[in-house]
């Protein structure tokens, strides 16, 4: 009874003694797509992911991952998932090749260990123990262990935190290759450029609620994309928002008869839109709090 969705979530709620971590989240992840879950720390990203991975139980709502409720996930179900946690230790005394080969023994249909090691770019480190690897290389080993079982769905929890730019670029290439091979990927991150670069769709989560889901290009709606044209004249700086920036610039050229001082045309980056969304969520919360007399 599996449909096109690798993940289907309706009305997910998870409460902890001191707070509601996830407060009515709906989510669909299509097969073969890379979905990025974005949000500030404590927004509910990790709790949501851990419920999907079967580590935590939902208090309310419907959850289906590869057609199964994670709370009832068996070994067969787990063999179709790959999980790369935020932090984890390796068996410290085994080499990269020994570890990847060992984890392969857990799965019914594993990939070839040498091939996986090559795919994550650790060929030259096959005989190296994890503690001698750099941060980026260890993360690649984590991914190698996550994909050795040939997963249909791969979870990546903040995979590039602490990376230098070069290591991140390399890591992105690795994820793009996985995606090309048809693996569905759920990525949590707080790097917007990462989501923009890798994800087909992005979900923004704040205070346990899914504020918005869309492609990186459409997130925030059309209004959020309005261009800003700014320039200066004798009265000081000016800025206007417009859907027709080219026409505005042409009009300015007429007015100044040539160069427009400090002319700039900007469209908001994903980061601007994201901060705007998070800001609105916080403002809405504050408004509710004021109404409730909490402030």
Partner 1 sequence: MADTKPLPSTLSVGLARTKLEVREFFREKEALIFTFFFPIIFLGIFSAVFGSTDFNGVNAATYFTPGMIASGIFLSSFQSLAISIALERDEGLLKRLRGTPMPPQSYFIGKIGQVLVTSVAQFALLLVIAGLVLGVDIPSEPSKWLDFAWIFILGAASGSVLGIAFSVVPKSGKAASAVITPIVLLLQFMSGVYFVYSSLPAWMRDVASVFPLKWLAQGMRSVFLPDGFQVNEPGGSWQLGTGAIVLTVWLIVGLFLAQRVFRWTRRDAG
CA 18/CA 85 separation, integer angstroms: 24
- Residues in contact with partner 1, counted by CB under 8 A, come to a total of 32
Q: In the chain, what is the greatest distance between 2 CA atoms, to the nearest angstrom?
A: 74
Paired tokens of 21: 């971590």
Choices 92-100, 115-123, 201-209, 279-287 (CB under 8 A): range interacting with partner 1? 92-100
Of 89, 83, 16, whose CA–CA distance to 50 is shortest?
Answer: 83
Contact 198, 34 (CB under 8 A): yes
254: contact with partner 1 by CB under 8 A: no
Q: Which residue has the tokens 């190698």?
A: 144
Shortest spacing between CB 36 and partner 1, in angstroms? 20
Least distance to partner 1 from the beta carbon of 69, Å? 16
Site for partner 1 in 49-78 (CB under 8 A): 53-56, 75-76, 78
Q: Tell me: does residue 1 bind partner 1 (CB under 8 A).
A: no
Q: Which helix (H) or strand (E) holds 118?
A: helix 113-119
> Based on CB atoms, which residue is closest to partner 1, 207 or 212?
207
From the CB of 39, what's the least distance to partner 1, in Å? Answer: 18
Task: Read off the tokens for 252.
Answer: 């300015």
92 binds partner 1 (CB under 8 A): yes
242 binds partner 1 (CB under 8 A): no
**Interface characters, 98-117, with partner 1 (x: CB under 8 A):** x---xx-xxxxx--------
DSSP conformation letters of 120-136: TT-GGGTT--GGGS-HH
Q: How far is the CB of 138 from partner 1 (least distance, A)?
A: 13
Name the E strands within 88-235. Answer: 153-157, 184-189, 201-206, 209-214, 227-233
Which residues are CB-neighbours of 242 under 8 A, at least 6 positions away? 226, 227, 228, 229, 248
Q: Which is nearer to partner 1, 57 or 267 (CB)?
A: 57
- Residues of this chain that bind partner 1 (CB under 8 A): 16, 53-56, 75-76, 78-81, 83, 85, 87-94, 98, 102-103, 105-109, 145, 149-150
């Amino acid at each position: 009874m599996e449909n096109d969705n690798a993940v289907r979530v309706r009305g997910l709620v998870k409460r902890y003694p001191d707070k509601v971590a996830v407060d009515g989240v709906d989510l669909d992840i299509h097969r073969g797509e890379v979905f990025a879950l974005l949000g500030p720390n404590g927004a509910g990203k990790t709790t949501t992911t851990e419920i999907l991975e079967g580590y935590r139980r939902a208090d309310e709502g419907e959850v289906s991952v590869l057609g199964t409720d994670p709370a009832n996930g068996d070994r067969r179900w787990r063999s179709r998932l790959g999980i790369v946690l935020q932090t984890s230790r390796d068996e410290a005394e085994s080499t990269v090749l020994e570890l990847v080969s060992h984890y392969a023994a857990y799965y019914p249909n594993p990939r070839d260990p040498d091939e996986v090691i090559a795919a994550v770019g650790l060929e030259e480190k096959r005989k190296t123990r994890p503690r001698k690897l750099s941060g980026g290389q260890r993360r690649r080993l984590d991914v190698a262990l996550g994909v050795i079982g040939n997963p249909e769905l791969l979870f990546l929890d903040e995979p590039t935190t602490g990376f230098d730019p070069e290591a991140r670029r390399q890591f992105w290439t690795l994820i793009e290759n996985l995606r090309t091979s048809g693996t569905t990927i759920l990525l949590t991150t707080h790097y917007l450029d990462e989501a923009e670069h890798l994800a087909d769709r992005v979900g923004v989560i704040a205070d346990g609620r899914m504020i918005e889901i869309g492609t990186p290009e459409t997130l925030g709606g059309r209004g959020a994309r309005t261009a800003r044209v700014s320039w200066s004249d004798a009265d000081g700086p000016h800025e206007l928002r417009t859907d027709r920036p080219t026409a505005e610039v042409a009009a300015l050229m007429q007015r100044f008869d040539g160069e427009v001082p400090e002319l700039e045309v900007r469209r908001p980056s994903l980061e601007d839109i994201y901060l705007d969304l998070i800001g609105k969520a916080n403002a809405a919360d504050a408004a509710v709090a004021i109404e409730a007399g909490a402030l």
